[in-house]
Amino acid sequence: MDSRLKNLDYAFNARSIAFIGATETVLKWGFLILNNLVTGGYQGSIYPVNPSRDTILGMKAYPTVRDIPYDLDLAVFTVPNRLVVDALDDCIAKGVKAGLVITAGFKELGEEGAAVEAEMLHKARDAGMLLIGPNCQGICCPKNRLYPWMPMLYHPPHGNISFVAQSGNVLNMLIGPTVISGLGVAKAVSSGNEADISTEEYLSYLVEDPDTEVIVAYIEGLDDGRRFLKLSREVTRHKPVIALKGGRTRSGMSAARSHTGAMAVSETLFEAACRQAGIILTSTIEEASVTACAFVNRPLPQGKRVGIVTGGGGLGVLASDFCTEIGLDVVPLSSGVLEELTALLPDWWVPGNPVDLVAGLDFNILKPTIEILMKSGEVDAVMFLWIGAPRREGEKGSYKTVQGTDATAIWGFMDNMLVKTYVELHQLMHELQIPLYMASGLHMSDDGDDPMVSSNRPLIFSSVESACRALSAMAEYQAYLTAAR
């Protein structure tokens, strides 16, 4: 790895941080970001910089970075754009290793801003200081409880998914499913205008990061398509990269130019490059993020043959359609397998794939049904679809309860059985090494006592489509790896 990139360690593993523009004014980023850092539980040293305050949030404040009498790994910039260059000079004089420039108002504003940005880069590179941004929302590294970023009190848990995004807002949303699923984040960076470090360089850094298993990238533009292709190829042989592209259309490109001053890239060329480089291309924020979650803690499917088990016939129909439409193969099952299933299932079961459990209420047949499919050798992956009504009462408190069977009792009973089943099935997947994709409405439970909230819980997809897309992406990646070897 480029020694310059090594300096990213000073950002993600910062032992000390100068916070330039720290304030106690609540509706300023200089407060909100500092507050995220403090409330996130960061254990290193924080030195607020503010020329007109002695203390900020109870911490001693310094007029400039030069006045801080300690070594500094990282400087966070939240001052207005006209003050950034001076603050950068101070950082360089002080020997700060990395700068995180939140401040906007550079290249994205046009020529004048681009000139200032170029000047900043020149100074930083000369001094061997690394710059993240400008015009970005920050970074996070939950392992170090490091959250110097905009989204308020948003402290995702530690996990194995990393993110590089040319939009802070999109980054927040991409991270969402990893928080809800409990799978968590290794490292995340809002790369902003990418004055110094480009998307593909972050990928090169992350491929060597032992905590990162999967990488998600949101890309609006590329300065050097060839370099992107070269570097990302080296990454995808080791770790899956899931990409979402902004600026796929003329109006999207125009918006991207205003946003981060991104160099537009032809959509056709970009798609072709991704295909060559084994990058998994997705089309929505949710798809990108949920697909990344699917890669964690799950074997790759060795092919595209799918067995579907569903608690409701219509869901099986829609799943068959969607699987077929995206290139998966809902294979017919052999008579031998169907006979095994018939022995288990109710009289009114109609043999076939999907295996429709026909509104049965016997939870004990779930695991053996899925085990038959996994052991059949006839499918490369199994989907288990059990989605129903959301758990939200239309009018709270308006129910009479029937003897011993109030809402909590029935829901608790069903949920406990389902959760037990999900955990068992998750183990079964690892034993038999056949990937399993479970979709359920269970996590829609809104009571805050969701029994599935735990970093070890199995991933539950919230829709048929997201489960199908993740399966398909993983099968494609397996095919890419096989071809690349």
Residues 333 to 352: which contact a second copy by CB under 8 A? 347-348, 350, 352
Q: Does 40 participate in binding a second copy (rule CB under 8 A)? A: yes
Return d(Cα 472, Cα 346) in angstroms, integer: 31
Cβ-based neighbours of 386, under 8 Å, separated by 6 or more: 310, 311, 418, 438, 439, 440, 441, 442
DSSP lists the bridge partners of residue 75 as 18, 99
Task: Give the 3-state secondary structure of residue 414.
Answer: helix
- Coil/strand/helix, residue 162: strand
Give the residue, chosen from 93, 115, 153, 484, that forms a contact with a second copy under the rule CB under 8 A: 153
**Under the criterion CB under 8 A, does residue 297 sit at the interface with a second copy?**
no
Of the residues 61, 84, 104, 139, which one makes contact with a second copy according to CB under 8 A: 104
Residue 324 is a binding residue for a second copy (CB under 8 A) = yes
388 makes contact with a second copy (CB under 8 A): yes
> For the chain, how many residues are written?
485
CB of 158 to a second copy, least distance (A): 8
Using CB under 8 A, which residues numbered 78 to 97 contact a second copy? 81
Nearest to 460 by CA among 411, 426, 417: 426
Among 157, 327, 368, 377, binds a second copy (CB under 8 A): 157
Q: Does 359 bind a second copy (CB under 8 A)?
A: yes
User: Kindly report the CA angle at 63 between 60 and 67, in degrees rounded to 5?
Assistant: 85
Contacts of 357 (CB under 8 A, 6+ apart): 309, 310, 311, 345, 349, 365, 366, 369
User: Contact at 8 Å (CB) between 97 and 74?
Assistant: yes
- Within positions 438 to 477, which residues make up the interface with a second copy, using CB under 8 A? 441, 444, 446-448, 463-465
Which of 46, 51, 113 has its CA nearest to residue 74?
Answer: 46
Q: Would you count residue 327 as binding a second copy (CB under 8 A)?
A: no
**For residues 60 and 49, what is the distance between their CA atoms, to the nearest angstrom?**
9
Size of residue set near a second copy by CB under 8 A: 114
Stretch that binds a second copy, among 65-73, 121-129, 241-249, 469-477 (CB under 8 A): 241-249
Shortest reach from residue 2's CB to a second copy, in Å: 27
Closest separation between CB of residue 365 and a second copy, Å? 13
Stretch touching a second copy by CB under 8 A, among 62-70, 204-212, 282-290, 364-372: 282-290
Nearer to a second copy, 115 or 484 (CB): 115
Q: Residue 114 region, left (φ>0) first, then alpha (ψ -120 to 50), else beta?
A: alpha
311-to-131, 138, 315, 358 alpha-carbon distances in Å: 52, 43, 8, 6
220, 265 Cβ separation under 8 angstroms: no
Is residue 138 close enough to count as binding a second copy by CB under 8 A? Answer: no
The footprint of a second copy on residues 56-75 (CB under 8 A) is 57-58
Give residues 113-132 in contact with a second copy (rule: CB under 8 A). none
Q: Which stretch binds a second copy (CB under 8 A): 63-71, 159-167, 233-241, 367-375?
A: 159-167
Least distance CB 437 / a second copy (angstroms): 16
Question: Is position 393 an interface residue for a second copy (rule: CB under 8 A)?
Answer: yes
Q: Does 247 bind a second copy (CB under 8 A)?
A: yes
Tell me whether residue 191 or residue 232 sits nearer to a second copy (CB atom). Answer: 191
| Both structure tokens of 405 | 């069977």
Is the Cβ of residue 269 or residue 484 nearer to a second copy in the bound state? 269
Position 233 contacts a second copy (CB under 8 A) = no
Q: Is 41 near a second copy (CB under 8 A)?
A: yes
Q: What is the distance in angstroms between the CA of the first residue and the CA of the last residue of the chain?
A: 23
